[in-house]
Structure 1
C-alpha cells in the first residue's frame, strides 16, 4: 500500500547507494519491514503469528536439508537410517527432534493465525487474495506434513499412508487409478517412499514461494487491525521498524522458549509410540491415527457411517473432509457483513467463541478416539455444526446482526481505550 507519509529509502553509504541503484534489494527490505512500511498502530500480539509461521518454516527447511543428507529413502533401511540419525550422527537427535516438533509448532502458529483471521475478519475485501493464498499455504502444509510422516517408515507411517491414500479409492471411476498413481503400486512400498520423499523435500520451497506472494498481496492493501477500520491518516500508523520488529522479537522469544522446552524435555509428546516400531505390512496397529493437526479432519472423514441413497459413506466422508477446507476459499463471499472485526459484531462473536471453537475442539478429540460410540455421534454432530456455521449461520448473521458503533479512526479507538484505562485509577483515588 502506498502511504504518502511513508519515508523513502535514501542510502547514505556509497556501497549501499551503488547496490541500490543496480539491485534495489535494500530498498525492497526497507519498504517491506522497515520504516518505509507504516502499519496500524493498534496491532496486538495475535499479529505476531504470521512472523512466527515464517520462522517455523525456516526451522523446517534448515533441519530438513540436514536430515536429507543422512536419510535413505529405501524401505529396507529407511527406519534404520532414522535410528542412525538419532544415535550416530553428531547432534542428529537434536536435528530430528527439532524437525519433528517444528512441524507441530508450525501448525500451532498457523492455526492461531487462521483463527485470528476468522475473528477479526481479515478475509474481507480488499484482502481476499491474502486469505486465499493463506489457504493454499495451509493445503501445501498438510500435504507436506502427511508425506513427511510416512518417511520414518514406522508402523504408524506405513498404515497411515495405507489408510489415508485408501480413501482416494472411494472416488468413482478415477479413485483407484489415482491411488495407484500416487503410490506407484497397489500398496505403500518403495515407489511410494521415493515419491513422498521427493515431494516432502520440494514442497517447503513451494510454500516459501507462496508465502512471498502472500506477503506481496499483504503490502497492496496494508495490514488489517483489530478494529477493522482502514488507515486514514498518518496518526493511525507507526513504522514497522522499530515498533513491530521489537514486538515480533518478544513473540519470537516466547515461541523459542516453548519450542526448546518441548524439543529437549518432551520431544515425543506430540508423536505416536507405534512409529518407533519398524513398518510391518502383516501387523495392523490396534488404533491407527494421524498426527494431531489432522484430527479434526479425520473426525469429519469418519463421521459418515451409512450410505446416502447411491452415494457410499466412504465417498461422503472424503467429500466432507475436502469440503471442510474448500469452504475456507469461499469465506470472503459467504460473510456479507460490512463490519470486519468481531469486536464490533456481538452476535458473530458469540457464535465464534461458543459455537465454532468448541466444535473444532470436539472434532479434534473425536479424531484421536476409536471409531466407536459415543465418539461417532459426537463427531457427526460437530461436523454438522461446522458446515452449518459457514453455510447457514454465518450468512444469516451477516444480514440480521446489529453491530456496535465503529470508531471513526484507529487513532480514536486507541485513545479511547487509553482514556478508559486511565479513568479507572482516577475513580479509585476519588
Structure 2
C-alpha cells in the first residue's frame, strides 16, 4: 500500500524510500530542523492567536493575559518567541551550508530557498509588531518608513501600508492577518522547495555524484533527523525555561507610546546584520537597496 496509495506514495518517495547519499553530514540536518521549527511556530502561534487581540488598546494586555492567566500561556508565548530565534539559527546555518558546499547549483531549489528566506523574514518582522510594545511600534515605524525612500511613489506607498498617517490600529490588524497567513504560504513553498530538490537528489560533502552510493532515507536518516530534532528542542527548551528573555529587548515590556521614542531602536538579533548594513549607508535609498541586496545577493550565487 505504501507504494500504491496516491497519498502514501508522496510521503514514501519523500521520506521513506528516497535514495539519499550515504555520506551527508550533520550540516544536512538543518532542512528537516527548519520543517520542525515551522511546525512548532504554526502550532504555538495558533494557540497564541486564540487568546490574542489585534487592537491597539488591548494587544499588549492580551499578551500579558496569555502569560499570566492562560494555562501554560507563558510557555507557549516564549516557545513561539524563542522558536523564531531557533528558526533563524537553522536558517542561517542551512543557507551557509548551501553556499559552502555549492548547493546553489540546484537552481530551482536555491531560488525558492531565497524566496523562502525573504518570506520568513517578513513574517518574523510582522510577528514582532504584534505584542505592541515600544520596540514593536518603533520597529514597525522605522522599517515601514524605509519604503518612503522609493522615489515618487514612496510616501503614498507607506501610507497605504499603514492604512493611515502613522502606524496605528489598521496597521496592527493587517500585520496580524498577514502574520497568520504567511506561515502557510511558507509551508507551501517549503513543499515545492523539497519537490525540486527531489528532482535532482541531495548534494553531499564531496560534491561528487553519489548515484552509485545511495541508501534509503528510512531508517538511516529518519533516526538521524530525530536526533537532530531532540538536540534542537533541548536547546530551545533550555532557552525558553531558563533564559526566556535573553534574546528579547526589555523595551518591549513597555507598552507602545507614539510620543516617546526608545533610545536605542534595534531589531531582534537575527535582523542585526541587515539593520547594520542599512544604518551604515548615509543615503536613505542607498541603505534600503543595500539591505535588500544583502539578502538578494544569494540569488546571484548560481
User: For the residues of structure 2 that align with 1:203 and 1:232, how far apart are their CA atoms?
Assistant: 36
Whole-Å separation in 2 of the counterparts to 1:27 and 1:278: 51
The match for 2:267 is 290
* 1:243-254 aligned within 5 A: 243-254=220-231
Give the corresponding residue for 1:268: 245
Q: Report the alpha carbon displacement of residue 231 of structure 1 after superposing the two structures with TM.
A: 2.2
1:52 pairs with 22, 27, 33, which one? 33
How many angstroms apart in 1 are the aligned matches of 2:211 and 2:40? Answer: 38
Q: 1:316 aligns with which of 286, 290, 295?
A: 286
Deviations 1:225-254 (Å, cap 9, x if unpaired)? 001111232xx1111001111111111111
Match of 2:109 among 110, 122, 130: 130
Normalised TM-score (structure 1): 0.69
- In 2, the alpha carbon distance for the partners of 1:176 and 1:146 equals 21
Q: Spell out, residue by residue over 1:153-208, the C-alpha distance to the aligned partner (whole angstroms, 9 max, x if none).
A: 00000011111111111111011111111111111100000110000000000000
Structure-2-length-normalised TM-score: 0.98
Aligned to 1:329: 299
Matching residue of 1:26? 8
- Which one of 102, 106, 116 corresponds to residue 97 of structure 2? 116
- Mapping 1:200-211, distance limit 5 Å: 200-211=179-190
Aligned to 1:165: 144
Name the structure 2 match of 1:220: 199
SS of alignment partner, residue 219 of structure 1: helix
Q: CA deviation at 1:304?
A: 1.0
Deviation, structure 1 residue 326? 1.6
Q: Does 1:184 align with 2:163?
A: yes
- CA RMSD in angstroms comes to 1.0
Q: Does 1:76 align with 2:76?
A: no
Q: Is the 8 A contact 2:21 2:211 kept in 1?
A: no
In 2, distance between residues paired with 1:272 and 1:323? 27
Q: Measure the CA separation in 2 of the matches of 1:257 and 1:90.
A: 22
TM superposition shift of 1:290:
0.8
Separation (CA, whole Å) in 2 of partners of 1:191 and 1:92? 26
> Secondary structure at 1:220's aligned position in 2?
helix
Correspondence 1:256 to 2:212: no
Give the equivalent residue in structure 2 for 1:141: 120
**In structure 2, the residue corresponding to 1:316 is in which secondary structure?**
helix
Check if 1:104 corresponds to 2:104: no
Deviations 1:283-328 (A, max 9, x none): 11011001111100101101112xxxxxxx1111011111111211
Superposed CA offset, 1:101-137 (max 9, x none):
001100100110000001000001xx11101011111
* Unmatched 5+ stretches in structure 2: none
What stretches of structure 1 of length at least 5 have no aligned partner? Answer: 1-10, 306-312, 333-430
CA contact under 8 A between 2:148 and 2:155: conserved in structure 1? Answer: yes
Higher relative contact order (CA 8 A, sep 6+): 2
CA distance in 2, matches of 1:271, 1:255: 19
- 3-state DSSP of counterpart to 2:248: coil
